[in-house]
């Protein structure tokens, strides 16, 4: 069972639909009491504002829930804003985030490229990771974002993308990981990445 965190994120239903296509069972988690022991993996989707998202996660108890589940060893995948929330803080509202990975979330500088970064762009595999299984290196995925992950530790950078600068577009480790792009909107390879995570 895949638990999908429901805190009003805009891409929630497209993520649900993509996981359903893969024939995995899902359960929406809107507060910690929705958890049950059949949930083996978690997904934190995300479209929107980091400060607003963290306020909802904190007020609902989902922040503590996610930290507790990760401490127990439950895998967690963050998508887009959900990926950024895995880090320690975001410049979007200057808000503390979940702190499950070390690092910050700065904004793209306006003189680099057109902001937001929107559209298809390549992801370069930096490390071998199961998320990339059966996905060619330098595959294009679909991005929409103005802020980006800046992990403190190089070992947490799994994939990079160039948009004026090279930034970490896939981060994490074997348990906690995040993708800046939207796999649910990235065609066959995006669905493959979700399948790699869920299985």
Averages of pLDDT over runs of 10 residues in the chain (199 residues) are 88 89 94 94 93 96 97 98 97 96 91 82 97 98 96 97 94 98 96 97
Q: Model-level pTM?
A: 0.96
Which pLDDT tens digit goes with each residue over 16-67? 999 989 999 999 999 999 999 999 999 999 888 999 999 999 999 999 999 9
pLDDT of residue 41: 97
Choose, from 69, 97, 182, 198, the residue flagged as catalytic: 182
80 belongs to the catalytic site:
yes
Choose, from 97, 117, 145, 184, the residue flagged as catalytic: 184
pLDDT of residue 110: 65
97 belongs to the catalytic site:
no
pLDDT of residue 115: 85
Identify the residue whose tokens are 């891409």. Answer: 11
- Burial string for 75-86 (b: 16+ CB within 10 Å, else e) reads bbbbbbbbbbbb
Choose, from 69, 80, 92, 97, the residue flagged as catalytic: 80
153 belongs to the catalytic site:
no
Domains and CATH numbers, the chain: 2-198 (3.40.50.880)
pLDDT of residue 191: 97
Please return the burial class of 33, using the count of CB atoms within 10 Å of its CB with bins 0-12, 13-18 and 19+: exposed
């Amino acid at each position: 069972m895949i638990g999908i965190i429901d805190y009003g994120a805009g891409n929630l239903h497209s993520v649900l639909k993509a996981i359903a296509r893969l024939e995995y069972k899902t359960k929406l988690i809107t507060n910690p009491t929705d958890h049950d022991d059949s949930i083996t993996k978690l997904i934190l989707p995300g479209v929107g504002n980091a400060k607003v998202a963290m306020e909802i996660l904190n007020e609902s108890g989902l922040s503590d829930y996610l930290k507790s589940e990760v401490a127990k060893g439950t895998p967690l995948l963050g998508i887009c804003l959900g990926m950024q929330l895995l880090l320690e803080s975001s410049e979007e509202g200057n808000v503390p985030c979940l702190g499950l990975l070390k690092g910050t979330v700065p904004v793209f500088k306006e003189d680099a490229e057109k902001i937001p970064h929107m559209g298809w762009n390549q992801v370069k595999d930096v490390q071998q990771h199961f998320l990339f299984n059966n996905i060619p290196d330098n595959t294009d995925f679909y991005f929409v974002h103005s802020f980006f992950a800046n992990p403190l530790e190089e070992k947490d950078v799994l994939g990079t993308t160039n948009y004026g600068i090279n930034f970490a577009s896939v981060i994490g480790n074997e348990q906690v990981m995040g993708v800046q792009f939207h796999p649910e909107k990235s065609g066959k390879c995006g669905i493959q990445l979700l399948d790699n995570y869920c299985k």
